[in-house]
């Protein structure tokens, strides 16, 4: 069965490759604007479902995923500017926030989604540290203006939940959804 990852994210590709050696990638070009009065949990679930639906074709299994950072009930998507990224990092400094990732698997017979929420506590970030981080390429294509798998991993004091979910694809839940969609036979890499 043909598996399509509805994403251009290199991080999601790397994580999915841990579970399934062969799949296609198609970026899902959708409007990622938050609807008026939309709750963060509803937003992230809607985004993963819309991404999957955008690239689905009969005879395929499509995996859509979306990750967002939520602090004080506010969704923090990818920063649009230096000032935006700086403001996000200052808002997260010294606080605990939620990283929500929704995964949707769409096939000919079913659409199944799962939401994973992870609590992440940041250390206090100095202005100098924020400026150093913003001089790297890391924050610009990531929700909340940080990537836990890079230098920003040193900002994290504590994490409760799924590390891979914070990166962008919760592996346990994704494996379960793919197995339920009939992709189980191709999971994992052949032994040499």
Point out the residues that are catalytic.
66
- At residue 181, the 3 state secondary structure works out as coil
Distance of CA 185 to the CA centre of its chain: 25
Kindly provide the b/e burial profile for residues 36-72, where b requires at least 16 CB atoms within 10 angstroms of the residue's own CB.
eeeebeebbbbbbbbbbbebbeeebbbbbbbbbbbbe
Contacts of 61 (CB under 8 A, 6+ apart): 1, 2, 3, 4, 105, 106, 107, 178, 181, 182, 183
Q: Tell me which H or E stretch contains 111.
A: strand 111-122
- The DSSP bridge partners found for residue 70 are 75, 98
CA torsion, ordered 117, 118, 124, 128, to nearest 10 deg: -80
3-state secondary structure of 105: strand
Q: What is the token pair recorded at 60?
A: 């395929």
């Amino acid at each position: 069965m043909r598996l399509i990852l509805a994403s251009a994210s290199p991080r999601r590709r790397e994580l999915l490759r841990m579970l399934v050696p062969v799949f296609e990638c198609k970026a899902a070009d959708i409007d990622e604007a938050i609807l008026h009065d939309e709750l963060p949990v509803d937003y992230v679930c809607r985004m993963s479902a819309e991404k999957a639906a955008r690239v689905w074709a009969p005879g395929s299994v499509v995996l859509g995923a979306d990750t967002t950072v939520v602090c004080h009930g506010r969704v923090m998507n990818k920063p649009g500017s230096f000032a935006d990224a700086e403001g996000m990092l200052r808002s997260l400094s010294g606080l605990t926030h939620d990283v929500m990732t929704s995964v949707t698997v769409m096939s000919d017979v079913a659409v199944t989604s799962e939401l994973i929420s992870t609590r992440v506590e940041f250390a206090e970030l100095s202005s100098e540290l924020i400026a150093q981080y913003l001089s790297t390429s890391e924050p610009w294509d990531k929700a909340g203006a940080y990537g836990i798998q890079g230098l920003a991993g040193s900002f994290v004091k504590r994490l409760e939940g799924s590390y891979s979910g914070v990166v962008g694809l919760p592996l346990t839940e994704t494996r379960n959804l793919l197995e339920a969609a009939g992709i189980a036979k191709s999971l994992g890499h052949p032994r040499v």
